Amino acid sequence: MVASVLQSVLGLAVGFTNLTALFGPSLSPDAQILLPNDANYSTQLTQRWTDYNAPSYIGAIKPATEADIQVIVTIATANAIPFLTTGGGHGTDDFHKFHGLSIDLSNFRTVHLDPGGNRLTVGGSAKIYQVEKLLSDAGKEFPLGSCKCMGVVGATLGGGIGSLSGHRGLMVDSLKSVRMITASGELVEASKDQNADLFWAIRGAGSNFGIITSATYTVYEASNNAQVMNADFVFPASANQSFWQIMKEFDDTLPSRLALTAVAFYDRIHDQPVIAINAVFFGPLEEGEPHLASLKALGPSRSNISMVPADALMDAAFFNFFGKDNGACTPNQHINIYTLGLKRIDPPTFESFFAKLDVFWQVNPDFQGRLLLQRFPNQAVQAVPDDDTAYGHRDVKTYMNIEGFYTDRSLDDDVNAFAKSGRSQFANRSGFETLVTYSNYAHGDEGPEAWYSARKLPQLSALKRKWDPDQLFSWNYPLPMQWP
């Protein structure tokens, strides 16, 4: 954090830097330097999913080669110019203090599948939608995240949760190797055989150690010939108490191939709060449907159970309530998220918060926020030894977000107060002794113990001192240089 503050102070002068003169002579012919006063400046760059607490830039460089990135890191460091790297653009951290250079990896979107070797190699900014059909057509699967516009590598670095987690583990568990540029400007490969300490660290705290230009993963034979059971149920607010009780029953009974995503939101068309749930089973319908008996018995107002191709799964959920891609891929929305991990579902806490959320919806008509639960099975996640990676939260059962979607920025303070209070309420009944967060969803105020866990921090801090002693990569959920 000290380095981030120092870079902020030094960054006061970077607005006067002539980026073209400083970087241009050393870049390859296909690299681009973009300035805020250029025509279509913003449209030439990867757009962020949320504009909440967004960074400000003096300009951007789109490197064309790995050598370009080495040059950018070296020159920026020598001239005390802070920099941020954009891959998929789906991060949620608080960057409002950042003013510096954007390194846009748009040119690093290659995707290559080796079906015979069960290997997938993607560029640093390749997105999930680029690999969905590729994998399905080849009869393969991989534990991708939960929305198709997310960057594959970015999702991986914080752990990489998804509906296949119970069967195939986290994305970091399938990661075999990376190519990356470190704080020294050096291009290195990291795997269990090369720079093993760095490879350990990036699998859970990856944004702290460098810029990944490509990553190679293990892929697997597709479950059920890439045909997946997709089920959706919608319940009225009157089901509030019973619904959360059913979710609690899944705490210890969720099969490894069944994933649940629940969302409470306000239906503005019909002026009422509702609860919806999507269930995905990686197997035949006759095997998956019996697991949904309690949800069917609750009397949904709307339901559907069908088989869909694996590459169509992300578009099939929730009856398209939230628009294309369920609202997860529209850029520059004003989205304010508070998150935490749960070891158990406490129905009274959910009932109480749902009632408060109903009042907040009605008092603030512009607020389209929702309560999101991702109950992903974790059998394969917990089968991996805890010390194998830096990821610190393998015992989380449910990932929960209080998501604020709204356009009226004057609501920021009210939303922050409401959501932060709700997060504390849930944390007290989460089953963990302290706040636990999935860093890819984190608001930014939780702190390193919540992001990475106290038991991982001594080793991570030591590796931060080794690989990034000047804290160049300390804007995104920064690691402390010492712990404790």
For 90-149, the pLDDT digits (tens) are 777 789 899 999 999 999 999 999 999 999 999 999 999 999 999 999 999 999 987 888
What is the three-class DSSP state of 145?
A: coil
pLDDT beyond 70 at 327 = no
Expressed in angstroms, the distance from the first to the final Cα of the chain is: 15
pLDDT, position 13:
47
Q: Which of 43-47, 84-88, 376-380 is the least confident region? A: 43-47
pLDDT, position 115:
97
pLDDT beyond 80 at 320 = no
Share of the chain above pLDDT 90, in %: 86
Q: How confident is the model at residue 323 (pLDDT cuts 50, 70, 90)?
A: low
Share of the chain above pLDDT 70, in %: 95
pLDDT beyond 70 at 322 = no
Q: Which helix (H) or strand (E) holds 264?
A: strand 258-267
Average pLDDT of the segment spanning 296-309 = 96
Q: How confident is the model at residue 243 (pLDDT cuts 50, 70, 90)?
A: very high
159 within 8 A of 439, measured Cβ to Cβ: yes
pLDDT beyond 80 at 16 = no
pLDDT beyond 50 at 5 = no
Give residue-wise pLDDT tens across range 370-416: 999 999 999 999 999 999 999 999 999 999 999 999 999 999 999 99
DSSP letter for 326, please.
G
pLDDT, position 8:
42
Q: Closest Cα to residue 303, out of 237, 246, 234? A: 234
Q: Which helix (H) or strand (E) holds 174?
A: helix 171-174
Cα distance between residue 378 and residue 342, in whole Å: 12
pLDDT, position 89:
81
User: How many residues appear in the chain?
Assistant: 484
Q: What is the mean pLDDT of the chain?
A: 94
pLDDT, position 200:
98
DSSP letter for 29, please.
T
- Of residues 8 and 425, the one with the higher pLDDT is 425
Tokens of 148: 């198709």
Extract long-range pairs of 288-292: CB within 8 Å, 24+ residues apart. Answer: 288/229, 288/231, 288/257, 288/258, 289/229, 289/231, 291/255, 291/258, 292/231, 292/233
Cα distance between residue 39 and residue 80, in whole Å: 27
Give residue-wise pLDDT tens across range 154-189: 999 999 999 999 999 999 999 999 999 999 999 999
pLDDT, position 347:
98
Q: Closest Cα to residue 29, out of 61, 59, 72, 64? A: 64
pLDDT beyond 50 at 249 = yes
Average pLDDT of the segment spanning 6-29 = 73
